[in-house]
Amino acid sequence: MMIKRIFMNPLFLIGFLFIVGLLGGSFYFDLVMKDNLPDRTTILYDEEGLPRYTAPFPPMKEYPLGTDKNGYQVLYKILEGAKYTILIAFFITVLRMVFSTFFGIVFRRVLLKVERIIKGLINSFHFAPLSLIAYFVVAPVALIFSWSFSAETEIIFSIAVLTLLAVPTLSLLIMNETDQILQYEFIRNAKILGGSHLHVMNRHVGPYLGPKLFIIFNQQMIQVLLLFAHLGVLGLYIGGPEFKSTIKEPTYMNEVMEGKEPEVIQTITSMSNEWGGLIAIARKEFLMYPWQIYFPALAFALTILAFTLMLEGMKRAANIQVERTRQTENSTESPDRIKEEDFRQIRDEKIS
């Protein structure tokens, strides 16, 4: 019922369809389009056969979002990297929620005993720049000493760091949300009537905590995408750089006019064209070729906007669900329930 109400919300539906369409387009590109792309070129000639542009090309009719210096279209790179960006962010978010929910609920009683000791330390993470912390922890493995680690190790280590950085604050948030729900009067009454902890959590806390966990999940998804973008600006991205041997065509007009021969060089590329990687690779050429960063950044912005719309739709649906759950709980209370006024009346009768 809750899921149906979420999908009926127009804001959620707009954001959801955008994400699904983006992922669908990315997989379609890999499975169908990628092997049928026209050959890349690093020189464009005019009608007279004279060189007009050398790569990277700015946005134009032939290349809507421009190209990189190797002649690859930015549009195709963004489309290819969409699935890796979103799915890796989704995977990190799932890990964050699993660990945080486990510590925030299962170990809630243990955390409550040391809450005063660790609360100040954990709350400090709210103000700490996680992008810089992640950079200083991951950079030695993914950048400085990347030659001594395999690509799989770099990816696993990066995902682990980006996951664990959020677990302390997220666990405390979920614990506080659970404690707040447990203070509701009907839940305290359920405990008094002999309801077990498992029954109370499943029957009474679950309907209130579930929608909040969905909302927190979406918030974390947005935070992970922002973290990818920030790390990209700092030159760090999932998987690290990949070195490829490519044929370097003449890049300056005078070299083209003089007939300089192509040469084989080592170039740095992103393994998956993940959007943070596109920003990281192009950041040194930002002033000369800004479109190489503008469009991946725009892809981040539109995707985050889509998740923000989904978040707002989920909040509205959750508010309706919580209100109806509360009405149901109130309506199921016994009409003969003993109230404080009844005790007061008995006391007055004994005094008289």
Domains of the chain with CATH codes: 2-329 (1.10.3720.10)
In this prediction, residue 84 carries a pLDDT of 93
What average pLDDT does the segment 317-345 reach? 55
Which residues, in sequence order, are bridge partners of residue 266? Answer: 245
Which residues, in sequence order, are bridge partners of residue 245? Answer: 266
In this prediction, residue 145 carries a pLDDT of 76
What average pLDDT does the segment 151-161 reach? 89
In this prediction, residue 337 carries a pLDDT of 47
In this prediction, residue 338 carries a pLDDT of 46
In this prediction, residue 323 carries a pLDDT of 59
Burial-class residue 55 by CB neighbours within 10 Å (0-12, 13-18, 19+).
buried
Query: Is it the case that residue 165 has pLDDT exceeding 70?
Result: yes
More confident residue, 90 or 191: 90
Q: Residue 334 — very low, low, confident or very high, per pLDDT cuts 50/70/90? A: very low
> Distance between CA atoms of 6 and 3, rounded to whole angstroms?
5
User: DSSP states of 33-76 as a string?
Assistant: IGGGPPPP-SEEE-TTS-EEEESSPPS-SSSTT-B-TTS-BHHH
> Distance between CA atoms of 236 and 139, rounded to whole angstroms?
7
User: DSSP states of 273-320 as a string?
Assistant: --HHHHHHHHGGGTTT-THHHHHHHHHHHHHHHHHHHHHHHHHHHHHH
What average pLDDT does the segment 154-181 reach? 87
> Distance between CA atoms of 157 and 292, rounded to whole angstroms?
28
Give the contacts of 212 (CB within 8 A, at least 6 positions apart): 177, 318
In this prediction, residue 4 carries a pLDDT of 80
In this prediction, residue 49 carries a pLDDT of 73
In this prediction, residue 330 carries a pLDDT of 54
The answer for 239, left when phi > 0, alpha when psi is -120 to 50, beta otherwise, is left
In this prediction, residue 307 carries a pLDDT of 96
Share of the chain above pLDDT 70, in %: 70
- Mean pLDDT rounded to a whole number for the chain: 79
* pLDDT digit string, tens, across residues 231-271: 999 988 886 666 665 656 555 555 555 555 666 555 667 77
> Distance between CA atoms of 93 and 221, rounded to whole angstroms?
6
What average pLDDT does the segment 41-50 reach? 77
Which of 44-53, 84-93, 96-105, 114-123 has the weakest average pLDDT? 114-123
Q: What angle do CA 135, 137, 139 make, to 5 degrees?
A: 60
Residue 281: name the closest of 81, 93, 141 by CA.
Answer: 81
Question: 55: which 2 tokens?
Answer: 């790569």
Buried b (16+ CB within 10 A) or exposed e, 64-76: ebbbbbbbbbbbb
In this prediction, residue 22 carries a pLDDT of 96
* pLDDT digit string, tens, across residues 271-328: 788 999 999 988 888 888 999 999 999 999 999 999 999 999 988 887 765 556 555 5
> Distance between CA atoms of 62 and 59, rounded to whole angstroms?
8
Which run of H or E residues covers position 29?
none
What average pLDDT does the segment 110-116 reach? 63
User: DSSP states of 88-133 as a string?
Assistant: HHHHHHHHHHHHHHIIIIITHHHHHHTHHHHHHHHHGGGTS-HHHH
Question: 283: which 2 tokens?
Answer: 């950041």
Q: Residue 5 — very low, low, confident or very high, per pLDDT cuts 50/70/90? A: confident
In the 8-state DSSP scheme, what is residue 341? H
* pLDDT digit string, tens, across residues 190-210: 666 666 666 666 666 777 777
